Homo-oligomer: A and B are copies of this chain.
Amino acid sequence: MPLLTNSPEKKTWLHVPANSDFPIQNIPFGVFLTRDDIITIGTRIGDYAIDLGALHQLGYFKGIPLTEDIFLQDTLNDFISDGKKTWRLVRNRISEIFDIKNEQLKNNESHKNIVLFTLDEIEMQLPVHIGDYTDFYSSKEHATNVGKMFRDPENALLPNWLHIPVGYHGRSSSIVPSNTPIRRPMGQTMPQGATQPVFGPSNAVDFELEMAFITTDANLLGEQISVAEAENYIFGMVLFNDWSARDIQKWEYVPLGPFLAKNFASSISPWIVTLDALEPFRVASPKQNPEPLPYLQQTGKRGFDINLEVSITPEGAAPTIVSKSNFKHMYWTMAQQLAHHTVNGCNVNSGDMMGSGTISGPTPDSYGSMLEITWGGTKPIVLSDGSSRTYIEDQDTVTFTGYCSKNGSRIGFGEVSTKLLPVNQNKKK
């Protein structure tokens, strides 16, 4: 199935603002609630959300093998299960329908009224039911920074790190879409110098700048996916804020890893950008030394050049950019992560999500967490309203944006933006 959507010359009859993350070359997938309170699967071009359920009912996907209700669902899981060939057929068709030279829908006002929504008419939902969520730890800079702070500055990387894309399982239930406020967690901590743990609100709520990929049904229990095949099972990517409570994490995490420090909430951007749309922005990933074991060896460009930015917006104030990083820094690639995840026969399903781990660059202004930016809280930063931060304060909004850019073409992810509310001390009634 040829990829027909990426030509930078292609233009659409819909208005696309300059520097939009969503030109006709993007065609991401998401789930939204419409002005009529109907949940549907859709895509986005410029500032229009497009109801794919309605387009399909109107016959615009004729000839593509799709079940009738494939887009009239509250998650993308079934569509993702249809596989890469179908994703391409659908994106190619959407690209045709909205091509500036195609007047079929453009000149049909009644169809346009049914199919097109402005962004204020819709409410974005979680795009997939996430069966299992895994988080990796694949930025060498981040792992090194954490190792320097918490373990041994001289041997910051643990011995396994250069051999394994280290990862662990996370909580699916508490993953929420952008614009869903979250609450500061309560928890047990051991304050510096104390001999008894205490219970109270976390004093160290942090973001982690990550991206995550969403898989299709990759393998049955007992089967392995090779590095070479892995990307065929990746539907697309989102921005991902792996909220972390550092004080809870520090006390609880030995020996089985982070738990309540992470599972109070994680936030993702609502539009899944396909790997096909990201194709023009491939780059070589960092050279790996030592060479990994054969089951992790890869050829070709497996990294992606995705600019990332983090801002903090206090209540009523202007945003302050606190980090500029890039997904290309990741030492372990998505292909290696997925191959490693399945090498023991672990089965991966449609809608599973795998986080990259915090994406830190080489310099302090590219670090992907407040833990690193303020070096464990020792170097507070000053925001544009004059207030200072070591970690995130109540009523702060943390926003990640991400986009690829090359020769005037731009493909972006929109944003994941989340407000931190104060603790909820009420028990369930």
What are the residues of chain B within 8 A of A426 when measuring CB–CB?
A: 223-224
A183 contacts the other chain (CB 8 A): yes
Establish whether residues A347 and B173, one from each chain, have CB atoms under 8 Å apart when the complex forms: yes
> Which residue of chain B has its CB nearest to the CB of A340?
B260
> Which residue of chain B has its CB nearest to the CB of A251?
B160
What are the residues of chain B within 8 A of A199 when measuring CB–CB?
A: 293-295
A13 contacts the other chain (CB 8 A): no
* 0/1 interface trace, chain A 189-231, chain B, CB 8 Å (1 if under): 0100000111100100000000000000011111111100100
Interface residues of A in 173-190 (CB under 8 A from B): 173-174, 176, 182-183, 185-188, 190
> Which residue of chain B has its CB nearest to the CB of A221?
B174
A36 to B347, CA, bound (A): 29
* 0/1 interface trace, chain A 261-304, chain B, CB 8 Å (1 if under): 00111000000000000000000000000100111000000000
A3 contacts the other chain (CB 8 A): no
Among the stretches A68-76, A90-98, A163-171, A359-367, the one at the interface with B is: A163-171
Distance from A215 Cβ to chain B, minimum over Cβ atoms (Å)? 11
Interface residues of A in 215-257 (CB under 8 A from B): 218-226, 229, 245, 248, 251-257
The 9 A-B pairs with the shortest beta carbon distances in the complex, nearest first, are A257-B257, A185-B344, A168-B256, A169-B169, A256-B257, A264-B344, A223-B428, A263-B346, A183-B222
Distance from A248 Cβ to chain B, minimum over Cβ atoms (Å)? 7
Distance from A351 Cβ to chain B, minimum over Cβ atoms (Å)? 11
Establish whether residues A427 and B226, one from each chain, have CB atoms under 8 Å apart when the complex forms: yes
Which residue from B132, B223, B345, B427 sits with its C-beta under 8 Å from A172? B132
A117 contacts the other chain (CB 8 A): no
Establish whether residues B166 and A428, one from each chain, have CB atoms under 8 Å apart when the complex forms: no
Known contacts A132-B171, A132-B173; A164/B252 CB under 8 A: yes
Establish whether residues B424 and A345, one from each chain, have CB atoms under 8 Å apart when the complex forms: yes
Establish whether residues B349 and A257, one from each chain, have CB atoms under 8 Å apart when the complex forms: no
What are the residues of chain B within 8 A of A190 when measuring CB–CB?
A: 159-160
Distance from A384 Cβ to chain B, minimum over Cβ atoms (Å)? 29
Which residue from B132, B158, B185, B251 sits with its C-beta under 8 Å from A254? B158
Establish whether residues B259 and A169, one from each chain, have CB atoms under 8 Å apart when the complex forms: yes
Distance from A315 Cβ to chain B, minimum over Cβ atoms (Å)? 19
A173 to B187, CA, bound (A): 29
Known contacts A132-B172, A168-B259; A345/B264 CB under 8 A: yes
What are the residues of chain B within 8 A of A188 when measuring CB–CB?
A: 163-164, 293, 295, 343
> Which residue of chain B has its CB nearest to the CB of A146?
B255
